[in-house]
Structure 1
Amino acid sequence: MKVTNLDERIHVLDSESNAMTVVRNIAMSGLQEEAFYVLDVGDIVQKHQIWEKKLPRVKPYYAVKCNDNLIVIEVLAALGVGFDCASKNEINKVLSLGVDSSRIIFANPAKPASHIRHAAAMRVDTMTADNESELYKIKKLFPTAKVVLRIRCDAETAQCPLGMKFGCDPIHEAPNLLHLAYTLNLNVVGFSFHVGSGCQDPPIYYSAIHHCKILFDMATNLGFKPYLLDLGGGYPGDKDTSIDKIAEIINKALDEFFNTDAVHVIAEPGRFYVASAFTLATNIHSKRSVRGDENSSNTVTHNMYYINDGVYGSFNCLLYDHQHVTPIPLENGCGKMIPSSIWGPTCDGLDKVVENIMLHDMELGDWIIFENMGAYTLPVASSFNGFPIPKVHVVANENIWLSLKDVLPLTEDHFIIGNTPANLRLGLDIGGNDIDPWRNADPIMGLTSSEILTDTPNNPSHFIYDFIEPPLN
């Protein structure tokens, strides 16, 4: 598959460059004003290596809803990862890359009828259910589907609890659903759970796996031949987090309850793979300094910074995913720290990114960086008030390029090799073409970005300036 928009390709960096140097190059070029992302493909590859080392028995099925960036899906497909899809559009996006339908689980327990029919047409036959009406629906629309019953087992502490919406009670409801599926002659192939996204309660995995073991035995006694155990999602992915404790408990539970190769174990990690791979750079376009009372009217008591991305864009994660973000000034400040707040660009008073933080005094045009911005940010971002969704620049080092360039669906056409920092810095594709039709030429120099790339300082400007003496009053 060849993608024609070269600017969306993976830029191969030299040995002296990395994701943060690219962030700095773009931000400090003087030609970039809009917010932007830098996606480090190597971070995703490293996460996959960690997963395979820590959870060797568990096959990852990436939760597409977490971040459906095309490069992310292509890289994960090349790494052999499966996919957890929640809709027919997500199914189509994955299948369009040549991924086999057997590598997809339709893991939405409440599916529209048209989506079930589409899954049947696309031969995506493994799907979840957690209620009676869903079983009847599957029986009518896709009677040969492989059904995975989803139970509820909630973590005490999770970034996004899901049990209030999905999952049947494992003790009372699940056995009844098993009997109904048997009566309907449906093929129950296994059980799944989701402890909650961003789980901070590792022991809950042990309890959930134990429940599944009991249901496996019950299903076998009814005449089913279950073979699939789906551990769901909930695995943390920020730079300062680890899955070690979760992995230790999962491995212990699998050894105790499913110590057999006859059971295929999968999971649905999302944020684990992409959270730390995306770094967002935002620019301060406005500033309001709040002064003290009448006795100290010249003293700044609080700075309000307005940046070019907010809760209607990338920071929707504050509302929908309960995330906490940490602003990092690109340049080190000096002097005393001042109580500050950071606001998005829209006209809505709810568009607040950071409520209260101590920062050195910053000025218009300064950049603020946010790490760990890959999970549940871009897929939900909107262009409310006409503000654009940040562009994503994709980078990888040479070792990552060598390991992925010939692994389908990736090919050499997916990579750009050469003087990529300059192209990234100016927001150009490898051919030197301006990919942002809204960016104007420099109003002072009269040069376009492509002309700036050319080392011809003596070239005349495209514009002729005439000096006109104003009339005397």
Structure 2
Amino acid sequence: RISRGALCVEVGLLETTIAGGTKIGFRSGRTAGETLSPPPLEVEALDQGSAGRADLRRVAGSYFRVYGKYPDGLVKEENRELAAGEKGRRTRSPALLPRPLPPDTQESASSAPASWEEVLDIYREQDRLLVERVKRRCAKEKTPFIAFDLERLMENYRLLSRGLYRARVFFPVKCNDHPGILELLASWGSGFEVASWAEARTLLDMGVEPERIIFGSPVKVGEHVAAAYREGINLYAFDSHEEVRKLAANAPGCQVYLRLSTPEVGESIFPLSGKFGAPPGDALHLLRAAEEAGLRPVGLSFHVGSQCLDPSSWWIALATTASVWREACREGFDLSVLNIGGGFPVTYREPVLEKEVFVSSVNFALRSHFQKMPRLIVEPGRAMVGDVAVMVATVIGKARRAGTEWLYIDAGIYQGLVEAMQEKERFSYRVFAEGRGPLRRYNVGGPTCDSADVVARGAVLPELECGDRLYIMSAGAYTNVCATAFNGFEPPRVLLMSG
């Protein structure tokens, strides 16, 4: 049995050693630029090895290449052309696609990165291209603002909607609720996951059909449920007896899916299982309680945690969920919906594996654990919008304090960069700037009087002066949606680049 550490990549022939010492080969005929629909994978045991779990950084550094440039675009407050439908769409750029390598040249091929440092350089090159585009199109815009690259957003949507096996995307509105983003995703056919009536009402007012909205929060406000149910929203998550009673009272006869708590493997920057999810051992009891209350249990769900860095986390979660699924079916429950949540990571200060690796790993785990494939729901938030935007801020002050160089900018944790405060040891935004002076190591602080308002620590930047611009990368997720006007500093404006 393949255990934690299994990795499946749809790029030619790749061999990796998994826990237990068995070497596995993954074959696929896909090449760069071809369709993102996952082809069938042929899996075979090659031989016995002595090594343990594959080092994911070594895999990324040895076998993956990112290449290609993005087309230029225009700055628009709203993207009416793309939102209207097919008009304005482009063929997917080859950027972000892995390049297949012959099996005998994986370690030595000069076309592939040979070290993790080179992978980091590639990500920096992608960032440079995005920054250059923002500079050309937004040079006269007043800071702070967040510029979204809609070409990249389209690439992410195509990968996540077509790459995962028969999955339907339900974008979590909490990740980014800007009307232009939501309208664009809706025009491409995306569904949406909401946690409140306000989020649901926003979508309904845009013309999104109730059938394309699910109420995915495990803990809900009863009045919000009743309002959503009256408008035709009929699929809800639950994870406790209290939620069963709440749903039975406010949405009688609705369809429900049980959210499970899955094992934490320590690879999620923002873990969720401690706050949400029923223990697998309680699953049958809760499903029976829902059925007895007049609800219609139709499936299961889980979430590995936000910004999950290890593809094998989905293997473990799917193994747990599949076991509950089989037991529930034996007990007579007619389950058809499997919601695997989100959690796919994007690069912040430290690079991560490409999205294709996580997509392939999930596909492999699904085929391994489910004989009959359920109706698959995926809720990619950060992976959809996180790496398609850059926040632009202006240096408003500088100082040297206790031997540390400080820069102060006109955007901080209260202007949308709140995640910099949540996980200081494991999470940090990447910041870039142009300058001809010597490189220095800076702490970058926001404009408010709160001492916790620090965006990045130890950032390596050229010497900067007041009035210079700073570019904060991967600023598309949980930024503008979390921004406030604390201390009198206005939230950043949102600009959508298309064309």
TM over 0.5: yes
CA distance in 2, matches of 1:213, 1:152: 13
Q: CA deviation at 1:71?
A: 1.0
2:291 aligns with 182
User: Cα distance 1:213–1:290, how it changes in 2: closer, same or farther (>3 A)?
Assistant: closer
Q: Secondary structure at the match of 2:259?
A: strand
CA distance in 1, matches of 2:305, 2:197: 23
Letter in 2 for 1:383: A
Aligned partner of 1:191 among 291, 300, 319: 300
User: Is 1:274 aligned to residue 374 of structure 2?
Assistant: no
Q: Contact 1:36 / 1:281 at 8 angstroms: preserved in 2? A: yes
User: Is 1:342 aligned to residue 444 of structure 2?
Assistant: yes
Q: Secondary structure at the match of 2:228?
A: helix
Q: CA deviation at 1:137?
A: 1.5
Q: CA deviation at 1:219?
A: 2.8
User: Cα distance 1:358–1:255, how it changes in 2: closer, same or farther (>3 A)?
Assistant: closer
User: Is 1:251 aligned to residue 363 of structure 2?
Assistant: yes
User: Cα distance 1:306–1:215, how it changes in 2: closer, same or farther (>3 A)?
Assistant: same
Q: 5+ unaligned residues in a row in structure 2: which ranges? A: 1-74, 82-87, 91-128
The one-character-per-residue Cα deviations of 1:18-44 (angstroms, maximum 9, x if unpaired) are: 853453246644xx5431111111111
Q: Contact 1:27 / 1:367 at 8 angstroms: preserved in 2? A: no
1:327 aligns with 431
Q: 5+ unaligned residues in a row in structure 1: which ranges? A: 1-5, 292-300, 398-473
1:9 aligns with 78
2:338 aligns with 229
CA distance in 2, matches of 1:189, 1:53: 24
CA distance in 1, matches of 2:436, 2:162: 41
Q: CA deviation at 1:224?
A: 2.6
CA distance in 1, matches of 2:80, 2:464: 31
CA distance in 2, matches of 1:355, 1:19: 23
1:380 aligns with 482
Question: Which residues of 2 match residues 355-370 of structure 1 at below 5 A?
Answer: 355-370=457-472
CA distance in 1, matches of 2:423, 2:201: 25
Letter in 2 for 1:325: Y
CA distance in 1, matches of 2:161, 2:236: 24
CA distance in 1, matches of 2:256, 2:358: 26
CA distance in 1, matches of 2:368, 2:401: 61
User: Is 1:260 aligned to residue 372 of structure 2?
Assistant: yes
CA distance in 1, matches of 2:211, 2:480: 27
The one-character-per-residue Cα deviations of 1:399-456 (angstroms, maximum 9, x if unpaired) are: xxxxxxxxxxxxxxxxxxxxxxxxxxxxxxxxxxxxxxxxxxxxxxxxxxxxxxxxxx
User: Is 1:166 aligned to residue 276 of structure 2?
Assistant: yes
Q: Contact 2:432 / 2:461 at 8 angstroms: preserved in 1? A: no
CA distance in 1, matches of 2:401, 2:326: 66
CA distance in 2, matches of 1:315, 1:396: 24
Q: Secondary structure at the match of 2:418?
A: helix
Q: CA deviation at 1:189?
A: 0.3
Q: CA deviation at 1:290?
A: 5.0
- Give aligned-pair identity as a percent: 29
1:64 aligns with 173
CA distance in 2, matches of 1:85, 1:377: 17
CA distance in 2, matches of 1:315, 1:184: 43
1:390 aligns with 492
The one-character-per-residue Cα deviations of 1:378-411 (angstroms, maximum 9, x if unpaired) are: 11111111111111111112xxxxxxxxxxxxxx
Q: Secondary structure at the match of 1:315?
A: coil
Q: Secondary structure at the match of 2:443?
A: strand
Q: Secondary structure at the match of 1:191?
A: strand
CA distance in 1, matches of 2:423, 2:478: 7
Query: Which of the pair has the greater relative contact order for Cα pairs under 8 Å at 6+ separation?
Result: 1
CA distance in 1, matches of 2:325, 2:418: 39
2:61 aligns with none
Q: CA deviation at 1:122?
A: 1.2
CA distance in 1, matches of 2:133, 2:80: 10
User: Cα distance 1:149–1:290, how it changes in 2: closer, same or farther (>3 A)?
Assistant: closer
CA distance in 1, matches of 2:283, 2:435: 56
User: Cα distance 1:10–1:321, how it changes in 2: closer, same or farther (>3 A)?
Assistant: farther
CA distance in 1, matches of 2:468, 2:266: 40
User: Cα distance 1:290–1:112, how it changes in 2: closer, same or farther (>3 A)?
Assistant: closer
Question: Which residues of 2 match residues 278-293 of structure 1 at below 5 A?
Answer: 278-289=389-400
Q: Contact 2:76 / 2:498 at 8 angstroms: preserved in 1? A: no
User: Is 1:90 aligned to residue 159 of structure 2?
Assistant: no
The one-character-per-residue Cα deviations of 1:310-339 (angstroms, maximum 9, x if unpaired) are: 11112112124664111100x2323x3333
Question: Which residues of 2 match residues 196-235 of structure 1 at below 5 A?
Answer: 196-235=305-344
CA distance in 2, matches of 1:19, 1:310: 21
Q: CA deviation at 1:95?
A: 1.4
Q: TM-score, normalised by structure 2?
A: 0.70
Q: Contact 1:62 / 1:84 at 8 angstroms: preserved in 2? A: yes
CA distance in 2, matches of 1:359, 1:388: 26
Aligned residues: 374
The one-character-per-residue Cα deviations of 1:76-103 (angstroms, maximum 9, x if unpaired) are: 1111111111111111111111111111
Q: Secondary structure at the match of 1:72?
A: helix
User: Cα distance 1:377–1:139, how it changes in 2: closer, same or farther (>3 A)?
Assistant: same
User: Is 1:307 aligned to residue 416 of structure 2?
Assistant: no
CA distance in 2, matches of 1:53, 1:182: 34
Q: Secondary structure at the match of 2:481?
A: helix
Q: TM-score, normalised by structure 1?
A: 0.74
Larger radius of gyration: 1
Letter in 2 for 1:272: A
Q: Secondary structure at the match of 2:358?
A: helix
Q: Contact 1:237 / 1:273 at 8 angstroms: preserved in 2? A: no
Q: Secondary structure at the match of 2:315?
A: helix
